[in-house]
Structure 1
Amino acid sequence: MEFAVTSEHATPADAAAELRAAVRAVESGERPAASFFNRPEPPKPPKPAQRGGPRPPAAEAGPVAVPEGLPALLAAGGAPEALAPRVALALGEGAEAQLRADPWLLLATPGVPPGQADEFARALLGDEAGPGDERRGQALVGWLLERAALAGHTVLEPGQLAAGLREQGVPEPEAAVSTAIEEGAVLVFQDRGAPLEAPAGEDEPAAEVRVLVGLEHHALAEESLADGLARLHGTFAAPEGEAAGGWAEAAGAAPSASAGELIRAAAGAAVVAHTGGEAARAEPVALALAAARLGLRAAVAAHQADGRRRLAAALGAEAPVAAVTVAGLLAGAEGPERDAEGHLPLDLLVVLDAAQLAAEPGAALVESLPDGARLVLSGDPLLLGSAGPGQVLADVLASGRFPRVVSRTPDPGPVGELVSGIGVGELLAVEAPNREVVIVPVAEPGEAVHRTVQLVVESIPRAFEVGAERVQVIVPGHGGPAGTRALNAALKDRLNPGPGAFGGFDPGDRAAYSPAPGRLRLVRVAEADERGLWVADEDGRFVVPRERVAETLRHGWAITAHQAAGQRWPAVVAVLPGDAAGALDRRWVYTAFGRAERHLSVVQGCGPALARAVTAPPAGERTTRLRALLNEAPAPAAG
């Protein structure tokens, strides 16, 4: 719902005053939100995904035409000319003219910080470039919201946005927020949450109202997703007669009680949430196979290519169920072809790793399903969340609007016991008779690097007959003396020494290819030619163009837990150097330790900070709208 706080002729100062008054009045309960909000027209829906696939992320976009004068303009402003393709991609046609008129638009380019944009503006505008320039404020509004999106938020509270502007030296931050609203650069929403206690003398409790500000493509993706879930529910018909009997028989023949419960839930509902650990992934597989035996068209989507391969193995080569990745399904590269209306010809779609599903791909998936189809969101809500903005699984669960099946299948072995304890805030000393879990104390980062290399190259292969290529190192961050960069350099020196002849890579190097945030393929470098760097994995060879190597490829012996989500390895070495203690929380530890199938080594250099990270509550939730949107919709009828 759009926030109408200004008249057509209001000044920015007037608008700022109205904005502050409106927010204070709503938050304090002095006035109902309806007195400040109106709906002159419905908000514009997000642009639909291209039939046959979604809008490609910037990291995967093709070559972009760079305006002839753009490199020279960047150089004149003190910015590197090499930034030109990224600027052209961010601003589109007329990038050069836009920057001349508003130098702070440079902030729309990913990776450009406010200080660099300020220097660029000062170089072009001279004394005219000041901290209170309205153009600067507007650019910073967008930059703050995009930075919030990187942390998973689809919206922010106006006070948070104004505080961020104040930190950047904007003298009238509320006025800048108001101007962004007037210009349509951001949208403002009111979301009703849980009912508050009824005021004295009133029978009906008031509804808690949040005032939120967001960029259109992030915030409205959640509206599209909520509408799509409502559409699936409204067009779904529960099976009757012989069909109902078939579902009941399938549930009775399920391989586990939890799988049977999931089959029964999916039989009677259009949307079902399913939660559990790694072992629980067998339950949606059993559901998909049962649906296929009942004559339904079914597909199961994982988050990463590794998850798809494990899924395909669990389904079996002859199964009439498509095993795909979310990205591959949306892009039309995997799974069934879309029909004439642009829908996927599916009766059931199961999304595994749903904790990694962000709002925009979630909306695109739901939009792709035909009326009457079933959608099952299956995942582990304790894992690190999606790389993109939104928390689809968490919001669907929190809304309580759809059936939820909680798996009772425990993850096996000492690693499973350890990870299960972490999930409830306990760091257990598990029994590991065959050294399935090993703690390696270290005193400083150099020792952490040394012991990690020793574990990967010598100890784990010798003790568990697991080759070094099947051991994954997981670290909190890329930088620092024991981050991914330092560890990858040390591991390359032992496992595949070489000069790094092509952009730092040599044939035989292990590399992490990330064409878009949240997507990772671990590959082996094969060779280089005039087209770029050829790499290969179990799905085959492909080329990374020369100009894309630096931004999409890193060495991959060591990666972060965020990159590792959705994948598993026979053996994992989790490295916790002392300087990373502040980056740890329960979700990080749960995710990193849970990537190990057979063996987990913990190179422990952060002392008691590990136990504190596990026992403390997980980091705060993301600020999103989906939960409130689902709660505002009519409740689904009992199935």
Structure 2
Amino acid sequence: MSTEPETTGDAGPGTPEGAEPAVEGAEPTSEAGGEDTGKLSEAEAELAAQRVERERIERRKAEKAGPVEAGAKLSGTAADLLAAVRAVESGAKPAATVFAEPEPAPRRPAPEPVRRAQPVVAEAAPVAAAPEAVEGVRLVLAEGGAPAPLAAQVTAVLGEGADDRLRADPWLLLRVGGVRPEQADGFARALLGAECGPDDERRGRALTVWLLEQAAVAGHTALEMPTLTAALARQGVPDPDAAVQGSLAEGEALAFQDALDEEATAQEGDEEERPVRVLVGLERYALAEESLADGLGRLINSVPKQDGSAQAWDEAAAAAGGSAGELIRAVAGHTLVLHTGGAASLAEPAALLRAARGLGLRAWAAAHSPLGRGRFAALLEEGTGDATPAERSPAEGSGIATVAGLLSGVEGPGRDADGALDLDLLVVLDAPQLDIEAGALLAESLPDGARLVLAGDPGVLWSVGPGRVFADLLAARICPQVASRRPDPGPLGELVSGIGVGELTQVEAPGKEVVIVPVRDAGEAVHRTVQLVADSVPRAIGVPAEDTQVITPGHGGAAGTRALNAALKERLNPGPGRFGGFDPGDRIAYSPAPGRTLPGRVVKADADGLHLSCAGEDVVVPKERVEQSVRHGWALTAHQAVGGRWPAVVVVLPGDAAGALSRPWVYTAFGRAERHLSVVHGVEQALPRAVAEVPAKPRTTRLPALLAPQVPAEGQ
């Protein structure tokens, strides 16, 4: 590796992303926004598809014995409560990072979502509540010392009679995203006076639901009972067990008993009572997890469609050779196949897709982001070689989409008369980014006999949403797994491969593929980053600033995305920020929905809103939604950058970021670089220590237990 000399800079403490959420491993995301235009936007169509899935789950739940009504789900982003809101006098602490690791129903096809033509409009804003309803909530909030801007969000979350509900149970304020327990406690004390106390059963139930939501932000789909009760105790709940039981009785949460593995049973030595673990989760995620397990069970137990003769599949596999040939052979005889590998291994799903199209299959690929979609499309085009025009053209109805676009109906083949996706083969790229709800939607959307390939790099960060679908499936071993033998090339490939096995090695980089830039403090980190992007990388490497991406651990702090983007804008595209802080030419990160980020540029602004160009598509964000859904994008977090790769990447590691580093984070951030990687290094030994000793934060999920019945018996 090359090392650049140190330079001086101003000191400034930073705050790594993840310090603000109450749960470890959560990375805050911007919420989407937009206006109602009469045509469904991509994000609105996605939400519509999710509503269809919710309705299907509700119908399934109604068929089960002893149905339980769901509690209202939490959503939205609240404004900060006024500083005057008083904390409860019981001594309850703010939420801490308390969470640690951890028969198929008949398939009901979903109706085909409405598909838009060509215009791309930002997500429609929620339907406004009646002014009188909002005013009623505003009066209740004022009595409790809470700010008026919360009124519309509280009304939307609590629905009809929100003011009466809030007055009867002030802790319902916790159902508004962004409100913290100490703020809800102060609000309740102001409304209830002497009747308010830490042992109020309403408080216990509200905190139980809130903690489960915070666990979902950290990636858990459920929590073990001891973990949940310990967290409630830290919130000052005198009787945590009673609080959980109250939530279960009210249908605000669900409890499950999952049998422990056979090894644990053998250690117990008690054959009469098989040990179980008790889990508690929100209905939304619990039923999505069951839906995913049911859908995958249906898929792997169905017979693959006989598209193409066995000889034709063998010939295609032989022509591809290597692990690409293994993948084709596995897909020929199975409906579910897992494929693992780094960036170079994408050539193997591409070979599979070309072979399937040659056999006449309606084959589609779905990537996590538009950047990944574009990269895979280019790879497919490169692989056509000297093929005839007929061979180069995809079969009718074949193509590449994003996962969100496929599920919403905005992209992809559409749905057949039964509501299933109209395809024979689906290859899902970036599979580690599938959360439990997207996974359930995909599994339930596939027709019987269709083939599903989940492909991805198991070393990258897991999904922003709850669950670890790809990792759980790899561990369950319910289907063939094909590991690519195609290594990522060059010094960058060698560096990232070493990180994947826990070793941060020094690699030879004769072409300055990897450069280390030591810094002493956050101020110097920002200065050197701007210097690299604007001058050093274009001059020494030949990569222009617009093709260089900065990645840092968090949004806040003196060297977070906000500070870096401000400095990079001043150098690369200075301007007054007349349009909500943005100017034409600014690089941006647009979030049409939580957990999704689309890099792009500002084109202009007018009465309709802020006009963006994202992955070649024109997007209009209404001005009232700009602040919530658009950030400057010269600098991103690693989670925002997943699914994309750039010719040059500058990874910024200020000293205060040491606690945010892990092996998956470093692997993901370093792996976004194609030709050149600069590391602005201020964490000293924390970097090699994170690579060697800090694996992915564990997530508690129920999917392994739900998949256990699908594991083939030994010898089969």
TM-score by length of 2: 0.79
Q: Which residue does the alignment assign to 1:114?
A: 181
Alpha carbons 2:171, 2:202 under 8 Å: kept: yes
Alpha carbons 1:233, 1:636 under 8 Å: kept: no
Alpha carbons 2:494, 2:507 under 8 Å: kept: yes
- Answer 1 or 2: higher relative contact order, Cα 8 Å, separation at least 6: 2
Alignment of 1:281-296 (within 5 A): 281-296=346-361
C-alpha separation between the residues in 1 aligned to 2:107 and 2:220? 20
Name the SS for the 1:62 alignment partner: coil
- What per-residue deviation string (whole Å, max 9, x for no partner) do you get for residues 304-326 of structure 1? 11001112222238333310000
C-alpha separation between the residues in 2 aligned to 1:269 and 1:183? 43
Q: Which residue does the alignment assign to 2:40?
A: none
- Aligned CA distance change for structure 1 residues 465 and 199 (closer, same or farther; 3 Å): closer
C-alpha separation between the residues in 2 aligned to 1:341 and 1:556? 41
Amino acid of the structure 2 residue aligned with 1:370: P
Q: Which one of the candidate residues 58, 63, 70 is aligned to 2:126?
A: 63
- What per-residue deviation string (whole Å, max 9, x for no partner) do you get for residues 21-79 of structure 1? xxxxxxxxxxxxxxxxxx9558898998963359xxxx946332232322333333222
Q: Which residue does the alignment assign to 1:494?
A: 571
C-alpha separation between the residues in 2 aligned to 1:63 and 1:435? 50
Q: Which moved more, 1:100-109 or 1:410-419?
A: 100-109
Alpha carbons 1:533, 1:545 under 8 Å: kept: yes
Q: Does 1:632 align with 2:712?
A: no
C-alpha separation between the residues in 2 aligned to 1:206 and 1:463? 68
Alpha carbons 1:574, 1:593 under 8 Å: kept: yes
Q: Does 1:251 align with 2:317?
A: yes
Q: Which residue does the alignment assign to 1:15?
A: none
Amino acid of the structure 2 residue aligned with 1:361: A
Alpha carbons 2:107, 2:444 under 8 Å: kept: no
C-alpha separation between the residues in 2 aligned to 1:417 and 1:46? 48
Structure 2 unaligned regions, length at least 5: 1-63, 70-104, 115-121, 382-391
Q: Which one of the candidate residues 604, 627, 632 is aligned to 1:555?
A: 632
C-alpha separation between the residues in 2 aligned to 1:314 and 1:101? 59
Alpha carbons 2:174, 2:210 under 8 Å: kept: yes
Amino acid of the structure 1 residue aligned with 2:128: A
Alpha carbons 2:514, 2:676 under 8 Å: kept: yes
- Aligned CA distance change for structure 1 residues 250 and 489 (closer, same or farther; 3 Å): same
C-alpha separation between the residues in 1 aligned to 2:491 and 2:238? 56
Alpha carbons 1:199, 1:205 under 8 Å: kept: no
C-alpha separation between the residues in 1 aligned to 2:367 and 2:402? 5
- What per-residue deviation string (whole Å, max 9, x for no partner) do you get for residues 519-548 of structure 1? 111111122222321111332221111221
- What per-residue deviation string (whole Å, max 9, x for no partner) do you get for residues 213-234 of structure 1? 1001111211100100111122
- Aligned CA distance change for structure 1 residues 195 and 587 (closer, same or farther; 3 Å): same
Give 1:196 shift.
Answer: 2.5
Q: Which residue does the alignment assign to 2:228?
A: 161
C-alpha separation between the residues in 2 aligned to 1:72 and 1:510? 42
C-alpha separation between the residues in 1 aligned to 2:108 and 2:526? 48
Alignment of 1:125-140 (within 5 A): 125-140=192-207
Q: Which residue does the alignment assign to 2:341?
A: 276
Q: Which residue does the alignment assign to 2:155?
A: 88
- What per-residue deviation string (whole Å, max 9, x for no partner) do you get for residues 391-422 of structure 1? 11000001111111111110111111100000
Q: Which moved more, 1:296-305 or 1:180-189?
A: 180-189
Give 1:179 shift.
Answer: 1.0
Q: Does 1:186 align with 2:186?
A: no
Q: Which residue does the alignment assign to 2:331?
A: 266
- What per-residue deviation string (whole Å, max 9, x for no partner) do you get for residues 161-210 of structure 1? 11111111111111101111122211111122420366699797985522
Amino acid of the structure 1 residue aligned with 2:698: E
C-alpha separation between the residues in 2 aligned to 1:162 and 1:274? 39
Q: Which moved more, 1:443-452 or 1:117-126?
A: 117-126
Give 1:636 shift.
Answer: 7.8
Show structure 1 runs of 4+ deviating over 4 A.
39-50, 197-208, 636-639
C-alpha separation between the residues in 2 aligned to 1:46 and 1:532? 45
Q: Which moved more, 1:523-532 or 1:60-69?
A: 60-69
Give 1:500 shift.
Answer: 1.9
Name the SS for the 1:211 alignment partner: strand
Alpha carbons 1:422, 1:589 under 8 Å: kept: yes
RMSD: 2.4
Name the SS for the 1:482 alignment partner: coil
Name the SS for the 1:68 alignment partner: helix
Amino acid of the structure 1 residue aligned with 2:174: L
Name the SS for the 2:695 alignment partner: coil
Name the SS for the 2:706 alignment partner: helix
Q: Which residue does the alignment assign to 1:308?
A: 373
**Number of matched pairs:** 595
Q: Which residue does the alignment assign to 2:560?
A: 483
C-alpha separation between the residues in 2 aligned to 1:200 and 1:615? 31
- What per-residue deviation string (whole Å, max 9, x for no partner) do you get for residues 378-403 of structure 1? 11111000010011100000111111
- What per-residue deviation string (whole Å, max 9, x for no partner) do you get for residues 269-312 of structure 1? 11111110011111111111111111111110000110011122
C-alpha separation between the residues in 1 aligned to 2:561 and 2:255? 40
Q: Which one of the candidate residues 169, 176, 192 is aligned to 1:102?
A: 169
Q: Which residue does the alignment assign to 2:423?
A: 346
Q: Which residue does the alignment assign to 1:211?
A: 278
Alpha carbons 2:157, 2:176 under 8 Å: kept: yes
Q: Which moved more, 1:72-81 or 1:305-314?
A: 72-81
C-alpha separation between the residues in 1 aligned to 2:672 and 2:268? 56
Alpha carbons 2:110, 2:445 under 8 Å: kept: no
- What per-residue deviation string (whole Å, max 9, x for no partner) do you get for residues 592-627 of structure 1? 000001100000000010000001140332100111
Amino acid of the structure 2 residue aligned with 1:64: V
C-alpha separation between the residues in 2 aligned to 1:332 and 1:600? 37
- Aligned CA distance change for structure 1 residues 635 and 588 (closer, same or farther; 3 Å): same
Q: Which moved more, 1:182-191 or 1:84-93?
A: 84-93
Q: Which moved more, 1:190-199 or 1:41-50?
A: 41-50
Alpha carbons 2:478, 2:710 under 8 Å: kept: no
Name the SS for the 2:309 alignment partner: helix
